[in-house]
Amino acid sequence: MLHLESVSLDFPVFAHEARSLKRILLGQSRQVEPQYIRALDDVTLNIHKGDRVGLVGPNGSGKSTLLRVLAGIYRPTAGRFMSDCRTTPLLGFGVGAHMDNSAFKNIRILLGAGGVRPTDDDMEAIWEFTELEDKFKYLPMRSFSSGMVMRLLFSALTHFQPQVLLLDEWLSVMDERFAQKSAKRMLEVVTNSEVLILASHDHDLVRQTCNRVIRLERGRIVDISSGAGLGCSRK
Protein backbone atom coordinates (compact mmCIF):
# COMPACT_ATOMS: atom_id res chain seq x y z
CA MET A 1 0.00 0.00 0.00
CA LEU A 2 2.66 2.51 1.06
CA HIS A 3 6.31 1.96 0.22
CA LEU A 4 9.29 4.11 1.09
CA GLU A 5 12.58 3.17 -0.47
CA SER A 6 15.69 4.92 0.92
CA VAL A 7 13.70 8.11 1.34
CA SER A 8 15.50 11.23 2.50
CA LEU A 9 14.07 14.67 2.91
CA ASP A 10 16.13 17.83 3.14
CA PHE A 11 14.10 20.67 4.54
CA PRO A 12 15.12 24.08 3.13
CA VAL A 13 15.48 26.79 5.76
CA PHE A 14 15.83 30.30 4.38
CA ALA A 15 17.66 33.07 6.18
CA HIS A 16 15.50 36.14 6.77
CA GLU A 17 17.32 38.14 4.09
CA ALA A 18 16.97 35.34 1.54
CA ARG A 19 13.20 35.83 1.68
CA SER A 20 13.50 39.43 0.52
CA LEU A 21 13.33 39.93 -3.24
CA LYS A 22 14.46 43.54 -2.85
CA ARG A 23 17.63 42.54 -0.97
CA ILE A 24 18.47 39.87 -3.50
CA LEU A 25 17.93 42.21 -6.47
CA LEU A 26 20.05 44.91 -4.81
CA GLY A 27 22.75 42.38 -3.93
CA GLN A 28 22.28 43.00 -0.20
CA SER A 29 21.67 39.38 0.66
CA ARG A 30 24.79 37.34 1.36
CA GLN A 31 22.96 34.10 1.73
CA VAL A 32 20.50 33.54 -1.12
CA GLU A 33 20.49 29.76 -1.07
CA PRO A 34 18.70 28.04 1.81
CA GLN A 35 20.40 25.86 4.38
CA TYR A 36 19.14 22.30 4.30
CA ILE A 37 18.21 20.33 7.38
CA ARG A 38 17.95 16.59 6.92
CA ALA A 39 14.54 15.75 8.33
CA LEU A 40 14.45 12.16 7.07
CA ASP A 41 17.51 10.10 6.34
CA ASP A 42 17.47 6.93 4.25
CA VAL A 43 14.11 5.66 5.48
CA THR A 44 12.91 2.35 4.02
CA LEU A 45 9.48 1.20 5.09
CA ASN A 46 6.77 -1.02 3.63
CA ILE A 47 3.28 -0.66 5.00
CA HIS A 48 0.63 -3.21 4.06
CA LYS A 49 -3.08 -3.63 4.58
CA GLY A 50 -3.84 -4.36 8.22
CA ASP A 51 -0.71 -2.70 9.56
CA ARG A 52 -0.89 -0.56 12.69
CA VAL A 53 2.33 1.41 12.72
CA GLY A 54 3.41 3.52 15.67
CA LEU A 55 6.06 6.21 15.32
CA VAL A 56 7.93 7.19 18.45
CA GLY A 57 10.98 9.31 19.11
CA PRO A 58 12.05 12.58 20.69
CA ASN A 59 10.97 16.00 19.40
CA GLY A 60 12.52 16.73 16.00
CA SER A 61 13.16 13.06 15.25
CA GLY A 62 11.07 13.18 12.05
CA LYS A 63 7.75 11.63 13.14
CA SER A 64 5.53 14.40 11.78
CA THR A 65 7.70 14.79 8.68
CA LEU A 66 7.36 11.08 7.94
CA LEU A 67 3.59 11.34 8.32
CA ARG A 68 3.57 14.26 5.88
CA VAL A 69 5.63 12.32 3.35
CA LEU A 70 3.19 9.40 3.65
CA ALA A 71 0.30 11.85 3.15
CA GLY A 72 1.93 13.21 -0.02
CA ILE A 73 2.37 16.68 1.50
CA TYR A 74 6.18 16.62 1.36
CA ARG A 75 7.92 15.07 -1.60
CA PRO A 76 11.13 13.21 -0.75
CA THR A 77 14.30 14.85 -2.02
CA ALA A 78 15.91 11.42 -2.48
CA GLY A 79 14.61 7.87 -2.71
CA ARG A 80 11.21 6.67 -3.85
CA PHE A 81 7.76 6.87 -2.34
CA MET A 82 4.97 4.76 -3.84
CA SER A 83 1.36 4.67 -2.77
CA ASP A 84 -1.74 3.11 -4.26
CA CYS A 85 -4.24 4.28 -1.67
CA ARG A 86 -5.89 7.41 -0.38
CA THR A 87 -4.51 8.61 2.93
CA THR A 88 -6.41 10.74 5.44
CA PRO A 89 -4.05 12.87 7.50
CA LEU A 90 -5.47 14.22 10.76
CA LEU A 91 -2.41 16.15 11.87
CA GLY A 92 -4.13 19.06 13.59
CA PHE A 93 -7.44 18.88 15.42
CA GLY A 94 -9.09 22.20 14.59
CA VAL A 95 -7.38 22.94 11.29
CA GLY A 96 -9.78 24.49 8.79
CA ALA A 97 -12.46 25.44 11.31
CA HIS A 98 -13.47 29.10 11.40
CA MET A 99 -15.08 30.36 14.58
CA ASP A 100 -17.35 32.80 12.72
CA ASN A 101 -18.86 29.95 10.71
CA SER A 102 -21.87 28.02 11.87
CA ALA A 103 -21.29 24.49 13.14
CA PHE A 104 -22.84 22.98 10.01
CA LYS A 105 -20.74 25.06 7.65
CA ASN A 106 -17.58 24.12 9.54
CA ILE A 107 -18.46 20.44 9.23
CA ARG A 108 -18.74 20.79 5.44
CA ILE A 109 -15.42 22.65 5.25
CA LEU A 110 -13.58 20.23 7.53
CA LEU A 111 -14.79 17.20 5.61
CA GLY A 112 -14.34 18.89 2.24
CA ALA A 113 -10.62 19.18 2.98
CA GLY A 114 -10.49 15.39 2.81
CA GLY A 115 -12.48 15.32 -0.42
CA VAL A 116 -15.68 14.24 1.36
CA ARG A 117 -19.06 15.80 0.56
CA PRO A 118 -21.41 14.86 3.37
CA THR A 119 -25.09 14.21 2.63
CA ASP A 120 -27.85 15.68 4.79
CA ASP A 121 -28.10 12.32 6.59
CA ASP A 122 -24.37 12.44 7.34
CA MET A 123 -24.75 15.95 8.73
CA GLU A 124 -27.57 14.85 11.01
CA ALA A 125 -25.62 11.79 12.17
CA ILE A 126 -22.57 13.93 12.94
CA TRP A 127 -24.73 16.38 14.89
CA GLU A 128 -26.51 13.61 16.77
CA PHE A 129 -23.17 12.22 17.93
CA THR A 130 -22.22 15.58 19.46
CA GLU A 131 -25.31 15.46 21.75
CA LEU A 132 -25.58 19.24 21.38
CA GLU A 133 -28.91 21.03 21.21
CA ASP A 134 -30.31 21.69 17.73
CA LYS A 135 -30.39 25.45 18.32
CA PHE A 136 -26.57 25.50 18.04
CA LYS A 137 -26.52 24.03 14.51
CA TYR A 138 -26.56 27.37 12.73
CA LEU A 139 -24.97 29.56 15.40
CA PRO A 140 -21.41 30.83 14.92
CA MET A 141 -18.93 28.54 16.62
CA ARG A 142 -17.49 31.42 18.62
CA SER A 143 -20.61 31.11 20.80
CA PHE A 144 -19.60 27.52 21.70
CA SER A 145 -17.64 26.58 24.78
CA SER A 146 -14.28 24.89 24.12
CA GLY A 147 -15.81 21.54 25.11
CA MET A 148 -18.60 21.96 22.55
CA VAL A 149 -16.09 22.87 19.85
CA MET A 150 -14.07 19.73 20.64
CA ARG A 151 -17.20 17.57 20.46
CA LEU A 152 -18.13 18.96 17.07
CA LEU A 153 -14.65 18.66 15.59
CA PHE A 154 -14.23 15.14 16.90
CA SER A 155 -17.63 14.03 15.65
CA ALA A 156 -17.02 15.47 12.17
CA LEU A 157 -13.50 14.11 11.77
CA THR A 158 -14.36 10.58 12.89
CA HIS A 159 -17.68 10.19 11.08
CA PHE A 160 -16.23 8.75 7.87
CA GLN A 161 -14.11 5.68 7.81
CA PRO A 162 -10.70 6.44 6.27
CA GLN A 163 -8.78 3.82 4.29
CA VAL A 164 -5.40 4.89 5.63
CA LEU A 165 -5.45 7.01 8.77
CA LEU A 166 -2.45 9.16 9.67
CA LEU A 167 -2.57 10.54 13.19
CA ASP A 168 -0.23 12.95 14.90
CA GLU A 169 -1.20 12.13 18.50
CA TRP A 170 -4.42 10.37 19.42
CA LEU A 171 -7.66 12.32 19.06
CA SER A 172 -9.48 12.60 22.33
CA VAL A 173 -12.04 14.82 23.98
CA MET A 174 -11.51 15.82 27.60
CA ASP A 175 -15.20 16.47 28.22
CA GLU A 176 -15.99 14.12 31.11
CA ARG A 177 -19.34 12.85 29.86
CA PHE A 178 -18.20 12.61 26.28
CA ALA A 179 -14.77 11.07 26.86
CA GLN A 180 -15.91 7.45 27.01
CA LYS A 181 -18.12 7.76 23.95
CA SER A 182 -15.37 9.45 21.93
CA ALA A 183 -12.77 6.87 23.01
CA LYS A 184 -15.10 4.09 21.76
CA ARG A 185 -15.67 5.89 18.44
CA MET A 186 -11.94 6.48 18.00
CA LEU A 187 -11.20 2.83 18.60
CA GLU A 188 -13.84 1.88 16.00
CA VAL A 189 -12.33 4.21 13.41
CA VAL A 190 -8.83 2.95 14.06
CA THR A 191 -9.93 -0.70 14.06
CA ASN A 192 -11.87 -0.37 10.82
CA SER A 193 -9.24 1.56 8.89
CA GLU A 194 -7.11 -0.61 6.62
CA VAL A 195 -3.94 1.04 7.88
CA LEU A 196 -3.16 3.20 10.90
CA ILE A 197 0.01 5.21 11.29
CA LEU A 198 0.18 6.95 14.64
CA ALA A 199 2.90 9.31 15.82
CA SER A 200 2.88 9.86 19.55
CA HIS A 201 4.96 10.55 22.62
CA ASP A 202 2.74 8.18 24.59
CA HIS A 203 4.72 4.94 24.33
CA ASP A 204 2.12 2.87 26.20
CA LEU A 205 -0.63 4.01 23.87
CA VAL A 206 1.48 3.22 20.81
CA ARG A 207 2.42 -0.25 22.09
CA GLN A 208 -1.22 -1.07 22.90
CA THR A 209 -2.58 0.23 19.61
CA CYS A 210 0.06 -0.73 17.07
CA ASN A 211 1.55 -4.00 15.92
CA ARG A 212 4.74 -2.35 14.70
CA VAL A 213 6.55 0.35 16.64
CA ILE A 214 9.18 2.37 14.80
CA ARG A 215 11.63 4.50 16.73
CA LEU A 216 13.04 7.48 14.89
CA GLU A 217 16.05 9.55 15.87
CA ARG A 218 17.41 12.44 13.81
CA GLY A 219 15.33 11.35 10.83
CA ARG A 220 16.59 7.74 10.83
CA ILE A 221 14.83 4.55 11.81
CA VAL A 222 16.86 3.25 14.75
CA ASP A 223 14.60 0.47 15.95
CA ILE A 224 11.57 -1.53 14.84
CA SER A 225 9.79 -3.62 17.44
CA SER A 226 6.41 -5.28 17.66
CA GLY A 227 3.55 -3.94 19.73
CA ALA A 228 0.56 -5.61 21.32
CA GLY A 229 -1.58 -4.52 18.36
CA LEU A 230 -5.07 -3.23 18.25
CA GLY A 231 -7.79 -4.68 20.37
CA CYS A 232 -6.28 -3.98 23.76
CA SER A 233 -8.24 -1.52 25.81
CA ARG A 234 -6.69 1.90 26.07
CA LYS A 235 -5.95 3.54 29.39
Partner 1 sequence: MQSLVKSILVISMKTAGLWREAWSTVCYANLLALNDLSLRYASSALGPFWITGQMLFFVLGLGFVFSSVFNTPLAEFLPFLAISITFWTFFSGCINEATSAILDGGSLIKDRAVSPQTFVMKVYIRNIYMLAHNILVPFMVFVVFQKYSFTNFLLAVPGILLFILIAGLMMAPVALFAVRFRDFKPFVESLIQLTFLVTPIMWRPDLLVNRTYVVDYNPLAVLFSLWREPLLKGEMADAHNWVVGLGVLLGAALLNRLAARSYRNCVFWI
Residues at the interface with partner 1 (CB under 8 A): 11-12, 14, 19-22, 24, 68, 71-75, 87, 89, 91-92, 95-96, 98, 100-101, 105, 108-109, 112-115, 117
* CB closer to partner 1, 19 vs 49: 19
* CB closer to partner 1, 56 vs 167: 167
CA angle 97, 60, 57 (to 5 degrees): 100
* CB closer to partner 1, 81 vs 178: 81
CA distance linking residue 87 with residue 166, whole number of Å: 7
Residue type, 114: G
* CB closer to partner 1, 65 vs 208: 65
Minimum distance, C-beta of residue 152 to partner 1, in the bound complex (Å): 16
Q: For strand 212-217 and strand 52-56, is the pairing parallel, antiparallel, or unpaired?
A: parallel
Q: What is the Cβ-side half-sphere exposure of residue 171, based on CA atoms within 13 angstroms?
A: 29
φ, ψ of residue 199 in degrees (nearest 5): -100, 130
Minimum distance, C-beta of residue 74 to partner 1, in the bound complex (Å): 6
* CB closer to partner 1, 87 vs 209: 87
CA angle 146, 174, 67 (to 5 degrees): 95
* CB closer to partner 1, 123 vs 213: 123
How many Cβ atoms sit within 10 Å of the Cβ of residue 104? Answer: 18
Minimum distance, C-beta of residue 16 to partner 1, in the bound complex (Å): 9
Minimum distance, C-beta of residue 195 to partner 1, in the bound complex (Å): 15
- Where do runs of H (alpha helix) occur along the chain? 21-25, 63-70, 103-112, 120-130, 146-157, 176-192, 203-209
Minimum distance, C-beta of residue 72 to partner 1, in the bound complex (Å): 6
CA distance linking residue 168 with residue 199, whole number of Å: 5
Minimum distance, C-beta of residue 200 to partner 1, in the bound complex (Å): 16
